[in-house]
């Protein structure tokens, strides 16, 4: 990655974040990493609930310093007329608004799309919700786990004849955030031609459903309902988890035709490598149990490192499930600058994930961890031309 030779890709853009928790804030985080000025609006006194989620340090979530890095915090009560007035003044000069309230909430405050776009016709608004802005379910509350369930992912996660399991992270929210950012960038590109903004309607369940590969056409054309399959990848063989001598597991993906041959030769099964039934994936998939059994018969007699070394030498895709400790110790993560550090208010350094995607000329950048609640309130109001006396009165009334 070459050195930054100029302004970041989104420098000069102003983003107003009205959301909280995961999906909306994740989207604006990505924009902020590439130079956009992100103003995060939080309720005075409590702030974004994410501040208290999972593991805390000095009363603040460690997650906070990932989700809210590079942002400015404006503590503002959106339920008050004065707070709503401040939002309108911000929106008048903003490029993008990101929100993930339940549909209709912003409209109750006269901060919906129609009102804000009339105020600023160039405005782009990313709206992320459980079920979207239209349809019979629009008013239902929806978190990522519900979107993952309705989108089809939760049914496939786990082992046959067992309850479905959670993926382990809020993947539905994060996918929706990515679609929201893609939509915002598309709208920015179109705005260069038309001079007009538009809104992006992202639903959690749709973001998950869009990832479901051949799930729908297989059902439509062949009547196949895709089922959970544990660590295997049905219809793509071999691709599975295999137990080693020490009880650890390795993941082996030998599903390319030439890769399969190299894999079989590496484990001493040249007979399977040359078997005409297994020359292509469709034939191998009909005998997945036989092939998986041959592979695990080999891995069970060898330590994990030996399996990894042998198959890497044979140019067969192989790996193992990384823990956080594995990630921190991995030289490739370090070489790719995927582990960075931010300095916290107490002076401590905190490791955080690096920035994606990697741009060669104007890469993203982390300026610091998450801000304190209302840390930038005075700065933002000063920029709007709201005098200090007015600010003091707003503070007394709990508006800021």
Catalytic residues: 173
**99 burial class (0-12, 13-18, 19+ CB within 10 angstroms)?**
buried
> In this structure, what are the phi and psi dihedrals at residue 180, rounded to the nearest 5 degrees?
-65, -45
Q: Is 72 helix (H, G, I), strand (E, B) or coil?
A: strand
What are phi and psi for residue 84, nearest 5 degrees?
-65, -35
Q: Give 133: exposed, middle or buried? Use CB within 10 Å, 0-12, 13-18, 19+.
A: middle
d(CA 306, CA 366): 38
- Taking a C-beta distance cutoff of 8 angstroms, is the pair 383, 24 a contact? no
Q: Which two tokens stand for residue 10?
A: 């989104």
What secondary structure, in 3-state letters, does 254-278 show? CCCHHHHHHHHHHCCCHHHHCCHHH
How many beta carbons lie within 10 A of that of residue 377, not counting itself? Answer: 23
Q: Which of 11, 59, 64, 14 is nearest to 42 (CA)?
A: 64
Token couple for 42:
């939080």
How many CB atoms lie under 10 A from the CB of residue 161?
A: 7
Positive or negative: CA dihedral 303, 308, 309, 310: positive
């Amino acid at each position: 990655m070459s050195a930054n030779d100029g302004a970041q890709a989104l420098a000069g853009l102003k983003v107003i974040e009205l959301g909280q928790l995961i999906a909306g804030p994740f989207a604006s985080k990505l924009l902020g990493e590439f130079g956009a000025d992100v103003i995060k609006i939080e309720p005075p006194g409590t702030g974004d609930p994410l501040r208290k989620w999972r593991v805390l340090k000095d009363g603040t979530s460690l997650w906070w310093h990932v989700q809210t890095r590079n942002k400015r915090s404006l503590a503002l009560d959106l339920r008050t007329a004065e707070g709503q007035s401040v939002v309108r003044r911000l929106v008048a000069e903003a490029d993008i608004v990101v929100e993930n309230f339940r549909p209709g909430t912003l409209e109750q405050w006269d901060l919906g799309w129609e009102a804000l776009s009339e105020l600023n016709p160039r405005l782009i608004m990313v709206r992320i919700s459980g079920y979207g802005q239209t349809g019979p379910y629009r008013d239902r509350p929806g978190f990522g786990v519900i979107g993952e369930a309705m989108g089809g992912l939760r049914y496939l996660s786990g082992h046959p004849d067992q309850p479905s399991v959670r993926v382990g992270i809020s993947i539905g929210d994060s996918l929706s955030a990515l679609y929201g950012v893609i939509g915002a960038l598309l709208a920015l590109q179109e705005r260069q031609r038309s001079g007009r903004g538009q809104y992006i309607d992202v639903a959690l369940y749709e973001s998950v459903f869009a990832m479901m590969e051949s799930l729908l056409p297989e059902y439509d054309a062949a009547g196949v309902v895709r089922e959970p399959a544990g660590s295997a990848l049905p219809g793509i063989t071999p691709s599975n988890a295999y137990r080693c001598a020490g009880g650890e597991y390795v993941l082996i993906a030998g599903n390319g035709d030439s890769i399969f041959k190299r894999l079989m030769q590496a484990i001493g099964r040249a007979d399977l490598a040359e078997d005409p039934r297994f020359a292509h994936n469709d034939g191998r998939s009909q005998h997945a149990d036989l092939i998986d059994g041959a592979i695990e018969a080999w891995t069970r007699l060898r330590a994990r490192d030996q399996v990894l070394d042998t198959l890497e030498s044979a140019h067969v895709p192989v790996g193992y499930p990384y823990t956080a400790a594995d990630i921190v110790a991995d030289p490739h993560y370090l070489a790719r600058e995927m582990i960075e550090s931010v300095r916290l208010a107490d002076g401590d350094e905190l490791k955080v994930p690096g920035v994606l995607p990697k741009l060669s000329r104007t890469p993203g950048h982390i300026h610091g961890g998450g801000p304190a609640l209302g840390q930038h309130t005075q700065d933002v109001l000063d920029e709007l031309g709201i005098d200090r006396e007015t600010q003091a009165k707003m503070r007394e009334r709990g508006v800021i």
